[in-house]
């Protein structure tokens, strides 16, 4: 064989190998970037939701979206379909910033006509810089640039791990995966020991600490609302935005008190309500002062995360328009309950939760 023929054969084989790799990734498409999987069960996990969300947002059939942190991961989309109408998918990013949630809405609105956004507001997510993702995202999966998909086509983990996982379930299709994806509700123990783990509550003398009457958004929160919320609310007047404040346990509110952040968090929550209420396509619900939930530690795996039965009840209440906040005064009333019971917990110590 001449050198010329050897070089030509080598180049041909190399190109063939590269084309075959691209074809394999595009055909199997483990992250469903080009098409929704129907012949295998995608290996969707909480650890890789930043990757899988890109394909879910691009390739699934839906008209409504669940946005938020791990507080939204236990929702059941089919229940939302039935009670709220529409066809829901979950696009949560756990422990994310508001900018990360904005990235999810960018992709959803950029690829679908969105009827409803169910958005769980974690105040902590708004403390991060409004242009900064707290969770780094694989941007090459989120944009429309085919050329940078080389990072997907020639990714070692995709080729050697995710494609084999997909092929092992070839011929299988989990119809329930839309409901079960990202759900962690059965993975952890619940109860007093779990909720109080690592937290010391010592009895002390207490005094009420009323919030200011007219809350004002601080600059960081203001920028997050202006850049990561309002463009979608104002730009999509036909989309209904259902915001809710998730019911952390009373232990979590005590932690915020101990960190010197309780007052600021509640003031900012009230300011957010004030900012969003004027929009006709916005509804706001607040379950943070639901005492039968937040004082029952059997609902929690830690100080903040509640079980899926709470998610189910939240949707039933939203469908019945229960827990709605129609004024800043209502948010302030709820926050006064939180402060009152944090003070009771401070006075009683762990005995507050005595059975």
Q: Find the angle CA(293)-CA(195)-CA(306) to the nearest 5 degrees.
A: 45
Residue 162: partners with Cβ closer than 8 Å, 6 or more residues away: 30, 31, 43
* Structural domain of 230: 63-143+187-353
pTM summary value: 0.93
The confidence score (pLDDT) of residue 10 equals 65
Across residues 67-72, what is the average pLDDT? 97
| Three state DSSP letters for 27-49 | HHCCCCCCCCCCCCCCCCCHHHH
Q: Tell me: the pLDDT tens digits for 272-283?
A: 999 999 999 999
Tell me how many domains the chain contains. Answer: 1
Question: What value, to the nearest 5°, has the Cα angle with vertex 309 and ends 71 and 95?
Answer: 10
Inside any domain, residue 256: yes
In a domain, 327, yes or no: yes
Query: Is residue 30 a contact partner of residue 165, using CB atoms and an 8 Å limit?
Result: yes
Q: Give the domain CATH number at 346.
A: 3.40.50.1110
Strand partners, 338: none
Longest dimension (CA), the chain: 92
For residue 54, tell me if it sits in a domain.
Answer: no
The two three-digit tokens of residue 32, written as one number: 């469903």
Residue 5 belongs to some domain of the structure: no
Residue at 262 is within a domain: yes
Three-point CA angle 120, 275, 281, nearest 5°: 65
pLDDT in tens, 327-341: 999 999 999 999 999
152-166, 195-209, 213-227: least confidently modelled range: 195-209
Least Cα distance to 206 among 155, 252, 258 occurs for: 258
The dihedral through the CA atoms of 245, 246, 248, 252 has a sign that is: negative
Residues 6+ apart with CB under 8 A from 195: 249, 251, 297, 300, 301, 302, 303
- Asked whether the predicted pLDDT for residue 13 surpasses 80, the reply is no
Candidates 23, 55, 224; CA nearest to 124 is 224
| 153 located within any domain | no
Judge whether 167 lies within some domain: no
**What would the pLDDT profile of 167-206 be if each residue is shown by its tens digit?**
999 999 888 999 999 999 999 999 999 999 999 888 886 6
Confirm whether 171 is domain-assigned. Answer: no
């Amino acid at each position: 064989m001449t050198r010329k023929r050897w070089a030509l054969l080598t180049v041909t084989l190399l190109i063939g190998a590269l084309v075959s790799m691209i074809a394999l990734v595009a055909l199997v498409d483990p992250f469903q970037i080009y098409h929704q999987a129907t012949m295998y069960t995608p290996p969707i996990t909480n650890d890789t939701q930043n990757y899988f969300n890109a394909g879910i947002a691009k390739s699934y059939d839906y008209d409504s979206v669940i946005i938020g942190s791990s507080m939204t991961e236990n929702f059941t989309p089919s229940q939302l379909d039935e009670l709220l109408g529409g066809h829901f998918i979950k696009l949560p990013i756990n422990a994310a910033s508001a900018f990360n949630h904005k990235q999810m809405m960018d992709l959803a609105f950029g690829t679908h006509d969105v009827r409803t956004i169910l958005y769980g507001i974690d105040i902590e997510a708004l403390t991060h810089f409004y242009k900064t993702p707290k969770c780094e995202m694989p941007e090459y999966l989120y944009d429309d640039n085919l050329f940078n998909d080389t990072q997907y086509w020639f990714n070692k983990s995709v080729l050697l791990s995710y494609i084999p996982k997909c092929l092992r379930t070839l011929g299988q299709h989990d119809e329930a995966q839309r409901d079960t994806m990202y759900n962690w509700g059965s993975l952890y123990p619940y109860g007093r020991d779990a909720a109080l783990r690592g937290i010391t509550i010592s009895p002390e003398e207490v005094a009420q600490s009323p919030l200011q009457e007219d809350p004002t958004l601080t600059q960081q929160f203001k920028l997050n609302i202006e850049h990561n919320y309002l463009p979608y609310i104002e730009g999509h007047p036909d989309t209904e935005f259902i915001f809710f404040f998730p019911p952390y346990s009373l232990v979590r509110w005590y932690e915020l008190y101990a960190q010197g952040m309780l007052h600021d968090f509640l003031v900012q929550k009230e300011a957010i309500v004030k900012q969003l209420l004027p929009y006709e396509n916005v509804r706001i619900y607040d379950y943070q002062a639901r005492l039968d939930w937040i004082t029952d530690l059997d609902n929690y795996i830690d100080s903040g995360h509640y079980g899926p039965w709470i998610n189910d009840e939240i949707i039933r209440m939203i469908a019945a328009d229960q827990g709605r906040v129609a004024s800043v005064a209502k948010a302030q009333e709820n926050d006064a309950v939180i402060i009152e019971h944090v003070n009771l917990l401070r006075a009683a110590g762990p005995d507050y939760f005595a059975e």
